[in-house]
Chain A
Amino acid sequence: MISEQLREQVYSCIKCGLCMNTCPVYRQLYFEGASPRGKVQLIKKILEGELEISAYFSSLLHTCLLCETCTVNCPSGVDLNRLMKAARAEVVRKLGLPLEKRALYSLLSRNRLLPFFMFWGRTLETPLRSLILKEGRAGTIPATRLPRLNSRPLLDQYPQIVSPAGPRVGRVLYFVGCATNYLFENVGRAVITTLNSMGIEVIIPRAQVCCGFPAGQAGMRKIALRNIRQNLELFDPGDADAVVVDCATCGTALKKEYANILEEMGENAEAARRLGQKVQDISEYLSKLDPAKYLKPVRGRVTYHDPCHLLRSQGIKEPPRNLLKSIPDMEFVEMAGADVCCGGGGAFQFDHPDVAAGITKNKVQAIMETGAHFVATGCPGCRLQIHGSLGDESIKVVHPVELLALAIS
């Protein structure tokens, strides 16, 4: 059930409409049901018993990127983000999820299963293919522009403790997200080498599992809960300086969502809150270490895309930009609307490819206008979406830390 405190939120919406045109989805569809204001209204009517949870309600609720743009723009302080996620959980409780989704999310959440699929997938080119391709596309992304799998999961490529060659000046725990573990090993390597070369020891708990965010936001909180518990146990920060994360979404999960979900499910959220305080996005952590003194020049032009889960969920705007600007000879150009969602939204772009494509088109155009060689972004979801939609091979989508690693090597 939606908690009492969240219920009261629906009455804080005064229907001023100021959230509507900030919503990328409303700007594609232009009807209230797709707007944040409309969603609050429907949730209110359901809570008041005037409306039943229906398949159409569910589809409206999921016509949403969970990009939090409405939440940060609501002057009245309605926490739409939490409200809509809690409502999604209600929908799953009432209506269940289609089998294929259920399968996908439990798969994503259970790391032990994935290696099997990876093996199977390798022989079939990529596993994502066999699972989610329709007519040669995964949502908006053509199969040819999907990433290849890592040859081995990143967690299998490193020991649990990776020490710097020189004197140790700090120690962090590293939460390796699924994307880095299975798809973007380069990001993981960049994180580890960059930290090491700055004198930081990296501890990588072996038994870590998916952060649980994808399942949680689809409303499958039971699956999420299992992962939350396991990760909480493994990531007791102790005397480490920080728990670093290279993925905006995992970061948001560890910083905020764990505590929110536990609290809303009536569980003890103390440990989650303690962990939340120690978690730092890799860009946050690195920018405090004065990276400039380790960097050699790299020529090129880079622009930066703000992931929703970094900018709005965690309020991180400058650190990744500062990192990029600190690379000698690298020209930084701001794109128009860097803070606008890329249109990916996790499962959103699979379920609503047309809407997503409309949103992504604007992003791609803004990137093209900068003439950049690199688009840096700290979120694998944005990376998939942007790379998948960029027709231009000369523009590389990277994690900021990959460019840093390039400047260090």
Chain B
Amino acid sequence: MLEEKVFEELISIVGAERCKRSKEDLLTYCYDACIHEYLPDAVVFPKSAQEVAHIMKTASAHNIFVTPRGAGSGLGGEALAKYGGIVICFSMMNRILEINTANRYAVVEPGVVIADLQKAVERAGLFYPPDPGSSAVATMGGSVAMNAGGMRGVKYGVTKDYLLGLEIVLPSGEMMMTGTVTSKDVTGYDLTRLICGSEGTLALVTRINVRLLPKPKTKRTLLAIYNSIDAAGDTVSKIIEAGIVPATLELMDKRLIKALDDFTHLGFPLDAEAVLLMDVDGDPETVENQVALVADFCRRQGAREVRVSSSEKENEQLWFARRSAFGAVARMRPTCLIEDATVPVSFLTATIKKVIEICERNRVQVAVLAHAGDGNMHPLMLCDQRDEEEMARVNKSMDEIVDYALSVGGTLSGEHGIGVNKARYLPKQLSETSLKMMKAIKRTFDPQCILNPGGFLDYGAL
């Protein structure tokens, strides 16, 4: 519990309305999109960097834990107050400060929802490519802290590829800038990219400068339908090998197809074993050529049919369906866990097979989804978290999938991060020296260790 005088200080900074402490409010800040719950002692909603700095000064003076939070769409409990304390939620600090068309960058506050920024820049003829499945909910601050990837990764990369600079508040309450707004910058260590992906353990991001691209003139969506999941997987590795770069390249298996169709009624092929959902974008002429090329390629790899969307509306419907995948499979069972191991794309088919084999052996229901072009697996494990015995089997499957991914040169997590879910695996991938360096960095930023305790470096302490 926080002392009353701490509350008084917090209220003097943000006002009573933006400092919440009732049981009802705390219960709505004890979750994110994973299955763990941890109650904070207070939730504050700053509206400026100065307020954030003040809150941190108070917190460090009283040695109180602080956990930053965006929209709470993280899949690993990253934004939860694992040891209680204050949650600083950025949802109310959500203005787009500048969209600079001359120099193609935007400046935003951390609470801006990714999709809102995308829409705003697109109205100005520009394009912000990072596009996690959660773009309609996740915040820019959260996506920086998680280095969110998403569907367009295969062509456009991930969040860190678009960051020009950040304004941050250190745990001590000091403020600083990293980077600039220019597209080139080698002045000093690249702290921007150090903060990016740090899961809110180093500093609080209060302003973000992102690079924008010109908006692609046109876009078409293709749906390639397969009678075998292997053929779909092989197509992906071969497309990448052949040097064709679609803007997105997603793989979904039959369970997922059924779930998506139940929700959207878009007429997905319910008898197919797998589909690839792809975008090609660019100039109209290039796009026409690419559509033909990709469609032909898929057919030669065994696609029984390739559907090409005919309108922007159809594109949108298909991608809306894809974005709903996580929730839609949860229609089948109450709980859904997404695994996120990522492998070199040439191992995609083998990994899919392995995942299915592991889950079948452990009697775990699984639907296979992948940001396939990146080798980023997203098997969705369906279960009921109230059933301990079943959850044990799910955890065992996760362990095995991680081991397999690492054995073929992959990584624990492609984009969802470590959080509390995967912390136990960290020593499997990172050497002792590497962990030692990371801990040293953490101490440099946060000597009191008050920022997001129980984060990935603290595994075992929980």
Residue positions of A touching B, CB distance < 8 A: 8, 11-12, 14-18, 20-22, 30-33, 35, 37-38, 41-42, 45, 50-51, 54, 56-57, 60, 74-77
Q: Is the CB of B323 within 8 A of A17?
A: no
- Supposing A15-B32, A16-B33, A42-B27 touch, asked if A31 and B20 sit within 8 A by C-beta, the answer is yes
CA A102 to CA B206, docked complex, whole Å: 47
User: Quick check: A21 and B326 within 8 Å, CB to CB?
Assistant: no
Measured in the bound complex, the distance between the Cα atoms of B31 and A17 in whole Å is 11
Q: Which residues of A contact B31 (CB under 8 A)?
A: 15, 41
Q: A33-B25, A51-B27 are in contact. Are A17 and B331 (CB under 8 A)?
A: no
By the criterion CB–CB under 8 Å, are B71 and A12 in contact?
Answer: no
CA distance A75 to B331 in the complex (A): 8
Q: List 15 A-B contacts (CB under 8 A).
A: A14-B326, A14-B335, A14-B336, A15-B33, A18-B136, A21-B137, A31-B28, A31-B45, A32-B25, A35-B28, A41-B31, A51-B27, A60-B24, A75-B327, A75-B331
Question: Which of chain B's residues has its CB closest to A39's CB?
Answer: B28
Given A17-B72, A21-B113, A30-B45; A77-B263 close (CB under 8 Å): yes
Interface string of B27-49 (1 = CB under 8 A from A): 11101111000000001010000
A186 to B384, CA, bound (A): 55
A-B residue pairs, 6 tightest by C-beta: A75-B327, A75-B324, A32-B28, A38-B28, A17-B137, A11-B334
Known contacts A11-B334, A17-B134: A31-B263 contact under CB 8 Å: no
Q: With A and B bound together, what is the CA distance between A81 and B262 in angstroms?
A: 19
Of B87-95, B434-442, B453-461, the one contacting chain A is: B87-95
Please tell me if the beta carbons of A76 and B24 are within 8 angstroms of each other in the complex.
no
Which residues of chain B have C-beta atoms less than 8 A from A30's C-beta? 45, 91-92, 94, 111
Q: Is the CB of A11 within 8 A of B386?
A: yes
Distance to closest chain B CB from A47 (angstroms): 13
Which chain B residue has the least Cβ–Cβ distance from A29? Answer: B92
Contact flags (1/0) for B319-340 with A, using CB distance below 8 Å? 0000111111011001110000
CA distance A18 to B133 in the complex (A): 10
Are B73 and A16 in contact, CB atoms less than 8 angstroms apart? yes
Q: Which residues of A sit under 8 angstroms from B223, Cβ to Cβ? A: none
Q: A21-B113, A30-B94, A33-B24 are in contact. Are A76 and B327 (CB under 8 A)?
A: yes
Cβ contact within 8 Å between B330 and A17: no
Report the minimal beta-carbon distance from A364 to chain B, rounded to whole angstroms.
Answer: 21
Q: A11-B386, A16-B33, A17-B73 are contacts. A54–B323 as well, Cβ < 8 Å?
A: no
B433: Cβ under 8 A from any A Cβ:
no
* Contact residues, B370-389 vs A (CB, 8 A): 384, 386
B-side contacts of A54, CB under 8 Å: 24
- Chain B residue nearest in CB terms to A13: B330
Complex CA–CA separation, A11 to B335 (angstroms) = 8
Contact B326 A16 (CB under 8 A): yes
Instruction: Find residues 98-120 in chain B having any chain A CB closer than 8 Å to their own CB.
Output: 111, 113, 115-116
Q: Is the CB of B27 within 8 A of A41?
A: yes
B428 within 8 A of A: no
Does B23 reach chain A (CB closer than 8 Å)? yes
Contacts of B20 in A (CB 8 A): 31, 33
Q: Say yes or no: B29 contacts A18, CB within 8 Å.
A: no
Distance of B255 from chain A, by nearest CB (Å): 14
- Known: A11-B386, A17-B71. Contact between A56 and B326, CB under 8 A? no
Interface centre among A18, A33, A54, A56 (most CB of B within 10 A): A18
CA gap between A31 and B26 in the complex, in Å = 11
- From known contacts A54-B24, A56-B24, infer whether A18 and B331 are also in contact, taking CB-CB under 8 Å: no
Q: A20 — nearest CB in chain B belongs to which residue?
A: B137
Residues of B within 8 A of A20 (CB): 71, 137
Q: Which residues of B contact A38 (CB under 8 A)?
A: 28
Closest to A77 in B: B331
Known A-B contacts: A31-B20, A32-B25, A32-B28. Give 6 more (CB < 8 A): A11-B335, A14-B336, A16-B326, A17-B72, A75-B263, A75-B324
| Bound-complex Cα distance A75 to B265 (A) | 12
Residues of B within 8 A of A11 (CB): 334-335, 384, 386
| Contact B24 A57, beta carbon cutoff 8 Å | yes
Verify A14–B330 contact, CB threshold 8 A: yes
A18-B136, A18-B137, A32-B72 known; A76 and B28 CB under 8 Å?
no
B310 at the interface (CB under 8 A from A): no
A56 touches B134 (CB 8 A): no
Interface residues of B in 293-341 (CB under 8 A from A): 323-328, 330-331, 334-336
Closest B residue to A17 by CB, please name it: B137
The answer for the CA separation of A53 and B24 in the assembled complex, in Å, is 10
Closest B residue by C-beta to A60: B24
CB distance from B250 to the nearest CB of A (A): 16
> Closest approach, in angstroms, between the C-beta of A10 and any C-beta of chain B?
9
A404 to chain B, nearest CB (A): 29
Are A76 and B331 closer than 8 Å at their CB atoms?
yes
